[in-house]
Structure 1
């Protein structure tokens, strides 16, 4: 999938660190990530294009949109991810013109204007980094809640760990962040009103060009430029002052941290205020801007310097909330959902049961299909240039490979494990170089669940032998999935009964095949929450039902819907089920 990250900035910002950190991770997952911004300071993977978003005249705005249209076409962009107010307006119109998907991360409190209320210009999904931004989007901009999802700043938490406390002769206080805009004003007031230079060694780490107003502190404060080794600075500090990612990374290093940003001073972070800190992105956002009582800061600084470390519980909470892998997994799901909803590009999953060669094999229930019609189905899929997948493919490959341009994928499934799957289905899979998933019942030799019933009993149909199951599994054309021991209606059983049916079937098949099972099918398509919980607990990565709410494969991995194929499903009927039911947009 091709992603364009758009930012507007003249110096390094938290948004840039977020975009490049996430972008590098996405690239490792198989995405192609491109960047467009006024500048990009941080080391990154992916191609960077320079565009002066901060020059906002009407003519410039037209130029921005035109250049974005060029980039979208040149790089076959499938989704634009905007990270700033200036860039998102241009991206919004470029995406409108091209019809591609757009998401916007909102990194801070937004200025409220009449135009921004009427036209949000945020695209298909809006991703505030914290709860305070979430609330403002709803309250001030009336953004619909169904397109908003909190997506926090992802941090490579594995790069940060507790270090021994520094042994400085004089306490070192490090202020880290921009020196422009509200953050610059904040830093100036901290230096001018709150910090005693005789008692502390104060250093300011910022990539910003230093305003002449800071000259009055030059003999008492050490002004560093941008540092590529922020961890070393953090670990040598007795107290770190900052907001957003600065505070997160400081706490991950175990350092006492004073969270203060554009909207508020949270104070020294501890277990009592960590929830408030997370909700405000560590002081960067709040109910109103610059809501800070500077008279209390001196005592807070003293309080922070009394401790050599922050609370380990606080560090663990930060690690849990901002782990990059977790954040990127969430972002990938958002990308997929946005793209699928925009272009209706879902993977159709079709469901067969058994196959016949003559009318005497039909039986009572409509769970069969003539093998000649099956071959016609396969010919149609070939003509439509579908490639077949199994759930093992989905598990082994990166999530987004199915969204590749000019690719069509389908999953073929067959329930119960009838003997005809071995004699009739497998040869056609080999002939057309297709793959399928066969869900096998293991404690029955025939379809007892349909035969030994009081009303409307079916004819006896043999199931595959263990040798046949092993053979089709080893063919390379069939993934075997679980389907319980005896094919019961799971939602009528107790939790323990369900667990036995699902787990023992899985254990038995895995021992037979010598490999882990990836997916499970609910018999009759009937299940309850216990069924889903058990399937997940015993190690299944996917579970499929039958017809119902059309969920994509990633929306709920344990409630995946399928398209049922019936005896009278003709070639046109299959085409209509796949295409006209809006599973796939051409």
Structure 2
């Protein structure tokens, strides 16, 4: 894709670091990236264009909008991504009349005044960096929940360092030398500066007297803007403790300082980087104090971006006596971050994973901007010669299926695959060529009658579909049905050569676990293995890319959906649950069950744009 970031970069804040790292991650994947910002240079290989984004005078805003519009038109930009309200304002007006989507990342709470709710300048999709921020945007800003997705800031975690950073069993150990160091890492202006001033006055003097080997490091930009009370407290500390106060200021070597630090005090990106590097963290942000981060409180701390963001308007007062007690207890017997917590942080905030989620958001905005909404996705199973004596009415006879295809042809419905859809969403195929009336035909399990009856009929009409197969080719019949009910007739599954015939015919192959297990009934590690191994097995056996996954029995929950995403699938398809469109939730795409006695009227209903809303209303799903 051709991506344009718009950034307010008067100083190198966390939002700027996030935008730059995101740009580099997407460039590494082959995308072309431009950045419009009021800083030059930035540490990126993206093409930089200067504009005074931080200058909010109306004259400069008009200039900024003109510059952005020129770049968008000249470089044929596919999506614009903004990282501040000022950037969103000018980009919103720059894109008026253009079919280019606008995505905004919101990094903090928004001022609650009339213009915030009246003028939704954030565009087609909004990325909230934590769960509390998403709740704030919905409940207090009154933003449409459907356009907001919670995606954290990504971090390019280092694998190792040459300093005293030692990795053993994926756990970083605390340095056992006599030196201990507490580091406050963050900006020294605004709310962060007020927190730093309180630490300098109320916490650090006590710790320095109690622990003679302790050093305190102050790391971050804008030190000259530290509040007056903080400057006075700092001067007193320097007079009392001399070189034990390390005033570092802004540094590009935060990982190096993390490696030499026993305990980090910070929030947001600082906390994420520290935990990912195995450094214990007292999560202190502009909104609250979230405590010493552990496995027990990690989810709650992460929801607030480690103390930076509250979900609702609330007091930001912090009990620094409690913070001091936590620091004292820790420094008396320092311990490393648990390996499981470090791994969880690295998995949740890994830059490559976050960049993939953001790219999905770009694609969703692109399809939404193009007016592509509900696409009927039909779910078939067996296509037998004659009706089956089964209580599971998941078949359509060969003759009836031929009538379905004739009906689709008559209504000028164009079958596509999910792989096709993703090519349009990513820009690999031009959106102007997207079918006017698309339909996606899916078939689960891979029964032998799909080869003997289904494939010839589809080829007769020039149609392709999506076949969901098990990764274990040793499974040769519907044993999940027969084992549950011995009276259920056995239905054979295709052999490898028959499965390869679908690949040769241009069909998309999707994964359906290894053994057709109920995923929510399994321990999560086993479910994750069923999911990931099925993808790898099918790609090896059939020599084709696998990008979508079908949940057996439509059985899923949020943990299972996360496992599908983590396994590298672009889409997860359900049965009769999911959003109004594919982009509403790529990990839970709604499919329509097809039964033996579908009529012309039921086919009309099930392929109509309004059907999903009707089904949700009727079934309360």
**CA-CA distance at 1:237 after TM superposition:** 0.8
Q: How many residues align?
A: 522
Task: Give the 3 Å change call, closer, same or farther, for CA 562–305 of structure 1 in structure 2.
Answer: same
* Match status 1:185 vs 2:210: no
Q: Spell out the pairing of 1:403-552 with structure 2 (5 A cutoff).
A: 408=434, 417=450, 469=498, 472-473=501-502, 475=504, 477-478=506-507, 514-515=541-542, 529=555, 551-552=581-582
Aligned to 2:217: 203
**CA-CA distance at 1:14 after TM superposition:** 1.4
Deviation string, structure 1 residues 395-434 (Cα, Å, up to 9, x no partner): 9x898355656554778869754658777876996xxxx9
After the TM superposition, which of the residue ranges 238-247 and 94-103 deviates more from structure 2?
A: 94-103
Q: Which residue of 371, 382, 391 maps to 1:344? A: 371
Alpha carbons 2:477, 2:493 under 8 Å: kept:
no
After the TM superposition, which of the residue ranges 110-119 and 402-411 deviates more from structure 2?
A: 402-411
After the TM superposition, which of the residue ranges 279-288 and 305-314 deviates more from structure 2?
A: 305-314
**CA-CA distance at 1:338 after TM superposition:** 2.6
3-state SS, counterpart of residue 152 of structure 1: coil
3-state SS, counterpart of residue 138 of structure 2: helix
Alpha carbons 1:53, 1:87 under 8 Å: kept:
yes
Whole-Å separation in 2 of the counterparts to 1:535 and 1:298: 40
Task: Give the 3 Å change call, closer, same or farther, for CA 13–159 of structure 1 in structure 2.
Answer: farther
Alpha carbons 1:422, 1:468 under 8 Å: kept:
no
Aligned to 1:487: none
After the TM superposition, which of the residue ranges 77-86 and 92-101 deviates more from structure 2?
A: 92-101
Task: Give the 3 Å change call, closer, same or farther, for CA 231–418 of structure 1 in structure 2.
Answer: closer
Whole-Å separation in 2 of the counterparts to 1:535 and 1:334: 17
Aligned to 1:90: 90
Deviation string, structure 1 residues 281-300 (Cα, Å, up to 9, x no partner): 11212344642233444333
* Match status 1:224 vs 2:248: yes
Alpha carbons 1:163, 1:254 under 8 Å: kept:
yes
RMSD (Å), alpha carbons: 5.5
* Match status 1:301 vs 2:342: no
3-state SS, counterpart of residue 282 of structure 1: coil
Whole-Å separation in 2 of the counterparts to 1:20 and 1:285: 22
Deviation string, structure 1 residues 95-144 (Cα, Å, up to 9, x no partner): 34424322222211222222223223222233222233233323332223
Whole-Å separation in 2 of the counterparts to 1:187 and 1:295: 15
Whole-Å separation in 2 of the counterparts to 1:351 and 1:321: 33
Alpha carbons 2:415, 2:441 under 8 Å: kept:
no
Q: Spell out the pairing of 1:370-381 with structure 2 (5 A cutoff).
A: none
* Match status 1:70 vs 2:70: yes
Alpha carbons 2:575, 2:592 under 8 Å: kept:
yes
Q: Rg: which structure is higher?
A: 1
Alpha carbons 1:438, 1:478 under 8 Å: kept:
yes
**CA-CA distance at 1:55 after TM superposition:** 0.7
Task: Give the 3 Å change call, closer, same or farther, for CA 527–40 of structure 1 in structure 2.
Answer: farther
* Match status 1:261 vs 2:285: yes
Aligned to 2:394: none
Alpha carbons 1:107, 1:129 under 8 Å: kept:
yes
**CA-CA distance at 1:236 after TM superposition:** 0.6
TM-score of the aligned structures, taking structure 2 as reference length: 0.65
**CA-CA distance at 1:233 after TM superposition:** 0.8
Aligned to 2:261: 237
3-state SS, counterpart of residue 283 of structure 1: coil
Alpha carbons 2:173, 2:336 under 8 Å: kept:
no
Whole-Å separation in 2 of the counterparts to 1:280 and 1:537: 23
Q: Which residue of 398, 401, 426 maps to 1:367? A: 401
Aligned to 2:301: 277
Task: Give the 3 Å change call, closer, same or farther, for CA 542–120 of structure 1 in structure 2.
Answer: closer
**CA-CA distance at 1:388 after TM superposition:** 7.2
Deviation string, structure 1 residues 335-383 (Cα, Å, up to 9, x no partner): 33332222134788799999xxxxxxxx994533799x99x99xx99xx
Alpha carbons 2:503, 2:509 under 8 Å: kept:
no
3-state SS, counterpart of residue 174 of structure 1: strand
Aligned to 1:456: none
Task: Give the 3 Å change call, closer, same or farther, for CA 478–342 of structure 1 in structure 2.
Answer: closer
After the TM superposition, which of the residue ranges 181-190 and 318-327 deviates more from structure 2?
A: 318-327
Whole-Å separation in 2 of the counterparts to 1:151 and 1:474: 35
Aligned to 1:33: 33
Deviation string, structure 1 residues 316-339 (Cα, Å, up to 9, x no partner): 443353233443443333333332
Task: Give the 3 Å change call, closer, same or farther, for CA 229–535 of structure 1 in structure 2.
Answer: closer
**CA-CA distance at 1:57 after TM superposition:** 0.6
* Match status 1:318 vs 2:327: no
Whole-Å separation in 2 of the counterparts to 1:270 and 1:364: 58
**CA-CA distance at 1:187 after TM superposition:** 2.0
* Match status 1:126 vs 2:152: no
**CA-CA distance at 1:527 after TM superposition:** 6.6
Aligned to 2:174: 165
Deviation string, structure 1 residues 222-244 (Cα, Å, up to 9, x no partner): 33243333222102112211111
Aligned to 1:176: 185
3-state SS, counterpart of residue 204 of structure 1: strand
3-state SS, counterpart of residue 61 of structure 2: helix
TM-score of the aligned structures, taking structure 1 as reference length: 0.69
Aligned to 1:56: 56
Whole-Å separation in 2 of the counterparts to 1:537 and 1:173: 37
Whole-Å separation in 2 of the counterparts to 1:284 and 1:273: 15
3-state SS, counterpart of residue 150 of structure 2: coil
**Structure 2 regions of 5+ residues with no counterpart?**
161-166, 384-396, 444-448, 470-474, 479-491, 513-520, 522-529, 595-599, 612-621
3-state SS, counterpart of residue 210 of structure 1: helix
**Structure 1 regions of 5+ residues with no counterpart?**
355-362, 445-462, 484-494, 496-502, 582-586
